[in-house]
Amino acid sequence: MQTPRTRPIGITVLVILQSIVAALLVIGGLFLAVAGPFVYQLIPRPLPGIITGALISFFGVVLLIIGIAGVVVAWGLWTGQGWAWTVALVLAVISIIVDLFRLPGSILGIAINGLIVYYLWQPHVKSFYGKEAAQLPYQVTVTKAPTQPPPSNVIYCSKCGRANSLDSKYCRNCGAEMAA
């Protein structure tokens, strides 16, 4: 019987934020995809109107796809799917790399994604996603192996064959009476 896994609180916060961003992308993407042909009338037209409307609709579809992917990743993070941990880690690293090219205005983005990478790499988070075994605290007790009497001063048990000292009345291994 498996014990239920406990979702780390940081993952709950991350999933809520991811869900909000994904929902905004879905809503914005739907709006632009549907309203693209009509929005072009509000924008100055360096391109013909139909091309501008098509580009706005295309951009809306791209946002919609990214938003749906965000919802799927949020679900995977919530339910403890290993692939979602990998995707979230890869996306955070990619965001850091992209933000490095946009310095100095992206320092906050680098810090936030750096914290996400750090948090996802914690052992209890990795174990929630099945990426490594949970490190359970345990105490190691070292017992000293029984010393064998020197071979010249031993007598062997006729029942189990264990070496015992010459003055032993009973075998240390099986308890049988030692013959003189």
The pTM (predicted TM-score) of the whole model is 0.63
Are 156 and 173 in contact by the 8 Å Cβ rule? The answer is no
Q: Vertex 106, ends 104 and 112: CA angle to 5°?
A: 135
Convert the pLDDT of each residue in 26-60 to its tens digit.
999 999 888 877 766 676 656 666 777 788 889 99
- Position 143 pLDDT exceeds 80: no
Q: Which residues, at least 6 apart from 178, have a Cβ–Cβ distance to it below 8 Å?
A: 155, 157, 164, 168, 169, 170, 171
| C-alpha 27: how far from chain center | 29
Convert the pLDDT of each residue in 87-125 to its tens digit.
999 999 998 898 898 888 788 988 988 999 999 999 888
Domain locations along the chain: 9-128, 147-180
For residue 134, the model assigns a pLDDT of 47
For residue 36, the model assigns a pLDDT of 79
